[in-house]
Structure 1
């Protein structure tokens, strides 16, 4: 209260401080409403501090060093206090401040136990938020120490685990975890809201694995369906293509059906995605050789993109579709061995990846998705590749001896650059860092 009274002469902070004062008074009054001796609680009490030397001894013994913090002024975002990234990946740590200040007051150092260091950049974003960006080119455990002046801020040091590139985990045979239609092989993977990988395989069984490839649980859809491809919506609902009824189903978080799309229209619904801004559902149909559009609200057919053929803008067994941030469609044109891009208004734009068995091209593209950097991940017959949003080849994610055989679905983790692939012929899921 004394600190607040002292600062009340700053007009720009008066409103905030008055709010704090009101809150403090409300809490105090609530406490004093108890049946305890009110006169005791209203007395000025001088606390007695008993210093602890044990903590200092432990810190010095363990070579941690003393840490002082800038109390309350700056703090690391709680989701960034311990993070996992991939070797060489550019990443950002978010720091918030109680006041609008210059970014030069913050500095950060990134190092590992071998005393290797990596450069960091602190950038003020406005509204009391800072982004500290860096990358680590050596695997292992790193720490980012963030200071204001000479003192650590709250949440510093940030613990960072740097993982290797390439194949990191492989699940067991998917059939071993199923109860229904064990003969049907894996067809798609999707990241759920808890960070686990959901796996479909043309049955009512949806399998859940963690990102280390360990089996977690089996989910059984209440309806008789053959779940082919899946898409999780921002509101927690899921849409999936049903290979039994030849339609798309929307279900709630208990997998109960709420609405279906395209019965009698769709012939072979495969890949699908939803534009959360416009509320449009896109479905790639391998037998109708086009991509259908439906209203996610009421199931109305809104139109279709493409027709059967091999000319530009035509399709032959399109198997998957994804969207750019601008709403442009990127379509895996399977039998034409190419990736095509269409404008949000349905006009053909260009072929962004053409045919070849060499790296940088595609042969039988089965899955296409965008990562957080707007790069495109394409799974084709025997490889997994990374392109920028214009189709410029960046690198091959897998190695030839990783055992990919008709990979179909892909999924991206939220923090590290991680992709999971439904490895159809081998009937397992492979997880890569890239």
Structure 2
């Protein structure tokens, strides 16, 4: 068997500008080709070409990396002993960063949150209804919950159910027919807002704006597991608006009134303030939401902008431009990793705005 016949390329079909492309070189079990027998050539969107290294992770896996700043189409050719391997050349689209779509929400209400569920976007608007849109912006329908429910922040669970904060009462879990499956935290939560469910432990973290802390529950049994912050006495924290978990299992707590993002370890021990208050780039003022992407980058919506930070809180860039009209943004969600895309509710013009970043 020829060396080229026992190898194939696999990887993403699109990325954003400056996002690292990682293409795997997959070998069959009987393949004895070494990395130094492979040649990899990138053709950039500008048409320029350059030869790059095929990397070996010392576990028998080979891969090729690339990063391009110009939008367009790039091409990767990989050959073994001078012959192209399967799926070579591979074509990858480099998508432009910035605002890519604006969805006009069809109800005249303040918007709370947006999450991706399958191929759809779910939008909460502080009533007992969840609006459903295609990512193209087409309105699909409405999930109607029981009267008296007020949907604030949402979290899509692995089983397809939706956990959400029911303003001034508790956390609820519902299906996509609007049937409430369970309620958690009655009598303990006063003004629940941001919500995050740990992917493996089924522990749910809930920010309480009034109490100024994060309460922790077992989402299966409903058992109260403890709190993070000021022991729920409005001391250390104020206006906890959102909470999320990093890929390392650390806890990020966003405060509206104190305008800051704090980092805690997985036991709830304070580590440091990652992002502080201010109007300049790299600071936040009256933030509305926080998310973490697959690279552990942090995105925060605040008053008039969206900002990208590294996992240690260092400012990377502003995602939106002033002309994009971000004003009073609130909840936001990662909707794609290839390309990197984030959706945010924008109360200034009652829209959902989608950005590549």
Equivalent position of 1:141 in the other structure: 73
Within a 5 Å distance, the mapping from 1:33-432 to structure 2 comes to 70-71=4-5, 73-77=6-10, 80=11, 83-99=13-29, 101-112=33-44, 114-117=46-49, 120-125=52-57, 129-172=61-104, 174=105, 176=106, 182-194=107-119, 196-211=120-135, 213-215=136-138, 217-224=140-147, 225-243=149-167, 246-252=169-175, 254-307=177-230, 314-412=236-334, 413-432=336-355
Aligned twin of 1:41: none
- Following the alignment from structure 2 to structure 1, what is the Cα–Cα distance between the partners of residues 226 and 169? 18
Cα distance change of structure 1 residues 356 and 150 upon mapping to structure 2, 3 Å threshold: same
Q: Distance in 2 between matches of 1:111 and 1:355?
A: 44
Secondary structure at the counterpart of residue 335 of structure 1: coil
C-alpha contact (below 8 Å) 1:69/1:154 kept by paired residues: no
Over 3 Å counting, the alpha-carbon distance change for 1:310 and 1:203 in structure 2 is closer
- Distance in 2, matches of 1:120 and 1:267, equals 57
The two structures, once aligned, show a CA RMSD in angstroms of 2.4
CA-CA distance at 1:336 after TM superposition:
0.6
Q: Distance in 2 between matches of 1:387 and 1:133?
A: 23
The 1:134–1:188 alpha-carbon spacing in structure 2 relative to 1, beyond 3 Å, is: same
Match of 2:323, SS state, is helix
Which 10-residue stretch deviates more, 344-353 or 234-243? 234-243
Structure 1 segments of 4+ aligned residues over 6 angstroms from their partners: 308-311
Unaligned 5+ segments in structure 2 are: none
Pick closer, same or farther for the CA change 1:347–1:112 going to 2, 3 Å.
Answer: closer
Compare CA radii of gyration and give the structure with the larger one: 1
Cα displacement (A) at 1:309 = 7.7
Deviations for 1:170-201, whole angstroms, at most 9, x for unmatched residues? Answer: 112x1x2xxxxx4432211112233x432222
Alpha-carbon distance in 2 for matches of 1:193, 1:74:
32
* Residue aligned with 1:154, SS: coil
Aligned-residue offset at 1:119: 5.8
**Higher relative contact order, chain-length normalized (CA < 8 Å, sep 6+):** 2
Measure how far apart 1:292 and its partner are.
Answer: 0.6
In structure 2, the CA distance between the partners of 1:215 and 1:205, relative to structure 1 (3 Å rule), is farther
User: TM-score, with normalisation over the residues of structure 2?
Assistant: 0.90
Determine the C-alpha separation between the residues in 2 that align with 1:216 and 1:127. Answer: 48
Higher strand share: 2
Measure how far apart 1:161 and its partner are: 1.1
In structure 2, distance between residues paired with 1:371 and 1:407: 18
1:48-78: CA deviation from partner (whole Å, max 9, x where unpaired)? xxxxxxxxxxxxxxxxxxxx9933x11223x
Aligned pairs, how many?
352
Q: TM-score, normalised by structure 1?
A: 0.75
Q: Distance in 1 between matches of 2:58 and 2:114?
A: 38
